[in-house]
């Protein structure tokens, strides 16, 4: 494992990379023996640096929960990151493309918790009982570390590539519909690019939230009432460019859209 001084140096490097929009070289190439726990330590310290600047944590994101995303990245286990208040955008948002390092879009469901979830031993049914509502969301992926050749070590350190999220559509209670069968059509500039079904996330998107609660417990943390949880993408990431309009149709759950300028 890395020593505290090295972890602090990496966290500071990533803070600066976020400010300058200049990704740093791959961490696993530079720090031999760096493991997953080192990466979560980097992420935690990086997040605390941003909290000290006045940003507020409002939830968590889960990544790499579907076969589509694992195949797209070559990484075969889930990870998580933090969501800050200024990362949550309203439906129809105009997004500054240059704010992110060549952003990509993923199609997800977001869980708004009405009760705490403290692992270990959290089940899907615990998640459904604790959820106030589920709502469609788009995740905007960002990168503070080089993309090509990433491993799980790089992805976790990079806050699981979280950039921002756009929340929209129609919120539903978790027992009002079979969340496994929620589907979405993802368009870029009126052209359909990706389609997916929420069961692609660990057979049920709530299973990802249960995984997160148990994983956080290993790090002495828990999910709290009011947290917003991005449960993981059920499509491959879609590249977006300046001038692009993104539109996701979730059928009965409504639509989510944003435009990059």
Pairing outcome for strands 162-167 and 88-90? parallel
Pairing outcome for strands 245-249 and 238-239? unpaired
* Residue 201 β-bridge partners: 66
Q: Which residue has the tokens 């129809």?
A: 92
What was the pLDDT predicted at 77? 75
Segments of the chain with pLDDT less than 50: none
What was the pLDDT predicted at 69? 66
φ, ψ of residue 229 to 5 degrees: the values are -120, 120
Domain ranges in the chain are: 4-260
Distance CA 140, CA 61 (A): 11
- pTM beyond 0.75: the answer is yes
Residues 4-260, CATH architecture: Alpha-Beta Complex (3.90)
pLDDT digits (tens, 9 = 90+) for 175-211: 999 999 999 999 999 999 999 999 999 999 999 999 9
Distance CA 169, CA 174 (A): 15
pLDDT digits (tens, 9 = 90+) for 5-38: 999 999 999 999 999 999 999 999 999 999 999 9
Distance CA 185, CA 192 (A): 7
191-197 sheet: strands from edge to edge: 93-95, 255-260, 245-249, 183-188, 191-197
What was the pLDDT predicted at 249? 98
Distance CA 144, CA 161 (A): 8
Residues in Cβ contact with 239 at an 8 Å cutoff, skipping those fewer than 6 apart: 102, 104
């Amino acid at each position: 494992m890395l020593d505290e001084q090295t972890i602090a140096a990496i966290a500071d490097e990533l803070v600066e990379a976020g400010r300058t929009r200049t990704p740093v070289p791959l961490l696993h190439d530079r720090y031999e023996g760096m493991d997953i726990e080192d990466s979560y330590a980097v992420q935690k310290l990086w997040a605390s640096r941003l909290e000290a600047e006045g940003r507020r944590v409002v939830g968590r994101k889960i990544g790499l929960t579907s076969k589509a995303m694992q195949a797209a990245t070559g990484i075969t286990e889930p990870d998580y990151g933090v969501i800050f208040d200024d990362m949550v955008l309203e439906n129809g948002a105009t997004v500054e493309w240059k704010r992110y390092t060549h952003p990509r879009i993923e199609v997800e469901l977001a869980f708004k918790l009405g009760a705490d979830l403290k692992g270990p031993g959290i089940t899907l049914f615990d998640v459904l009982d604790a959820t106030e509502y589920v709502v469609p969301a788009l995740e905007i992926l960002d990168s503070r570390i080089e993309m090509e050749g990433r491993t799980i070590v790089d992805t976790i350190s990079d806050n699981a590539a979280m950039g921002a999220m756009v929340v929209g559509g129609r919120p539903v209670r978790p027992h009002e519909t079979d969340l496994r069968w929620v589907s979405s059509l993802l368009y870029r500039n009126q052209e359909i690019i990706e389609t997916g079904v929420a069961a692609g996330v660990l057979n049920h998107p709530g299973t990802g939230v249960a995984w997160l609660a148990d994983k956080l417990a290993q790090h002495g943390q828990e999910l709290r009432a009011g947290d917003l949880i991005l449960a993981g993408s059920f499509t491959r990431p879609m590249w977006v460019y300046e001038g692009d309009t993104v539109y996701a149709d979730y059928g009965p759950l409504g639509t989510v859209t944003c435009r990059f300028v």
